[in-house]
Amino acid sequence: MKPNCFLIAISFIFWMLISSNHILAQNSSAPHISGKVRISMKDGLIASDIILSNIPIKDTAFRINLNRGMNIKLFKDSATVLKYNNPPGDEYISYRLHNGKGYVDAPKKLNITYSGAFPIYNESNNFYDYQGVIALNGKTLRATNYSKWYPVIYDTKNDTELLDMTYDLMVECTDCKTIFLNGSEAQPGPIARFKSEKAYGLLLFTGDYEVQKFSESNFLNAEMPVDMAEAFNKQISSIKGFLESKLEIPYGQKITFIQHKAIEPYGPNKSWGFVVFPSIAVAGGRFNDQIDMKTKKFNHLIKCSFYAHELSHYYFGTVLIPDSTLRWFFLESIPEYLSVKATEKEYGKQATVDYINNAKTFLEKKTIIPLSKITKPEQIDDVYRYTYGPLLLLALEKKVGEKKIYKMFQKALAGKNSKTDYSFLVKIAKEAAISGLEWKSFEDDLINNQQLDVLFEHLNTVKK
């Protein structure tokens, strides 16, 4: 349950790695959150009066997870004030609700009133930061979905936190110039009301900062010269256009880029970042060192591929929410493949050749379980999902051509309620007019062939 934290040098690796931690979901069965949140930036205070509704659990198999710094005033269903057990947690406390006689079924509506005070880390003494921390630096407050600044329903049966919620929240902050809640546009303080019928991970970003708005992206606290922000926005827009043309579904999502001062003194060359779709945030890093103002493009192709990967998650992660055995192949390998293609469009074919050569080093001595033999999602580990999976798709592309691959992806998005297992993959391949013969040769030569040399040979020799 603990989120990964990426503390890495601001380098190519940074842009590669910050992408791997995000949960994306939007559906009508998501819980709904409403109520009021009061913030004092000066004192580090958060006081909330929240109502959770549309709770998709019918029995006692739920907990309410909340940041450990929050003190409960009350839990109340529509009729009574509820008691709770709270075994000690790590960065959050998990509350189990009862009425004095027995544990209660998940109520239709649950009112939770709580408040907490958090340190303002405006000196260089703090030694850690990650998504679980409610981070105040004297200028901004950052509270991600993983920090559980809002009550998160934990489904014990499925071992899942329902982090994404639809919302109707009033945020009051007398000393905030700007208030932002993920999935909505930033609003001026001191009072802002946010409503969304789509579910999002609730990343809250408030404080004394400016907003720069463009057609495809908004920048919060980025302090970029206007022409640079415009160039950045244009790059993002070009990647979105590429994805829309290949997948034939309008993008329809604005991306918010958030920059804030790190609360851990990492040193001048270090930084970390995270994604809570559709927001991309950096702590310590800067968006204004990524654009080459001569070409008006990203100053390295790895930055282009990072953003292309993240933007692809709108399709694979939001439109389609992968599950089942090939969850990670659909959730990460396809966006990674799309990022290779988007980068090739911007920087030419050599970019893909370099990608393949670079991938070789990650796969050395790697034992691969054939995609058709995966029985548990976890068998597709990081190297499999970010390196081997995309290579497999590139190899299939060499056999059947790019068009059929995109068709296959379109079919996957159209079948969004299906289980993303191997038979689904075979099905969408067929629907994309990949012949039985072509698929059989792909299976025999590549999927079931554990000799990675054969894969690289195929990638390097078949039509350049």
Binding site for Zn ion (CB under 5 A): 19, 332
Residue 244 CB partners (closer than 8 Å, separation 6+): 250, 251
Residue 107 CB partners (closer than 8 Å, separation 6+): 55, 77, 78
SS3 content of the chain, % helix, strand, coil (to 5): 35, 30, 40
Residue 332: CB minimum distance to Zn ion, A = 5
Nearer to Zn ion, 19 or 256 (CB): 19
Residue 331: CB minimum distance to Zn ion, A = 7
Place of tokens 């407050």: 141
Nearer to Zn ion, 75 or 328 (CB): 328
Residue 139 CB partners (closer than 8 Å, separation 6+): 207, 208, 209, 221, 260, 261
> DSSP character for 445?
I
Nearer to Zn ion, 114 or 329 (CB): 329
Residue nearest to Zn ion (CB): 19
Residue 51: CB minimum distance to Zn ion, A = 33
Nearer to Zn ion, 19 or 271 (CB): 19
Nearer to Zn ion, 50 or 247 (CB): 247
Nearer to Zn ion, 91 or 332 (CB): 332
Helix residue spans in 348-451 (DSSP H): 350-363, 382-383, 389-400, 402-414, 422-431, 436-442
Residue 379 CB partners (closer than 8 Å, separation 6+): 369
Give the H/E segment covering residue 212.
strand 211-213
Residue 336: CB minimum distance to Zn ion, A = 7
Burial class (CB in 10 A: 0-12, 13-18, 19+), 268: exposed
Rounded CA separation 420/426 (Å): 10
Residue 313: CB minimum distance to Zn ion, A = 6
Nearer to Zn ion, 19 or 420 (CB): 19
Nearer to Zn ion, 3 or 56 (CB): 3
What are φ and ψ of residue 265, in 5° steps? -75, 85
CA distances from 317 to 31, 181, 276 (A): 18, 20, 12
Rounded CA separation 321/330 (Å): 9
Residue 58: CB minimum distance to Zn ion, A = 32
What are φ and ψ of residue 273, in 5° steps? -155, 170
Residue 263: CB minimum distance to Zn ion, A = 25
Residue 194: CB minimum distance to Zn ion, A = 26
Residue 385: CB minimum distance to Zn ion, A = 8
Give the H/E segment covering residue 460.
helix 452-461
- Among 247, 236, 242, 252, CA closest to 296: 236
Question: Can you say how many angstroms the Cα of residue 82 is from the centroid of all Cα atoms in its chain?
Answer: 34
Reduced 3-state DSSP string for 259-304: EECCCCCCCCCEEEEEEECCEEEEECCCHHHCEECCCCEECCHHHH
Nearer to Zn ion, 19 or 145 (CB): 19
Residue 398: CB minimum distance to Zn ion, A = 24
Nearer to Zn ion, 171 or 359 (CB): 359
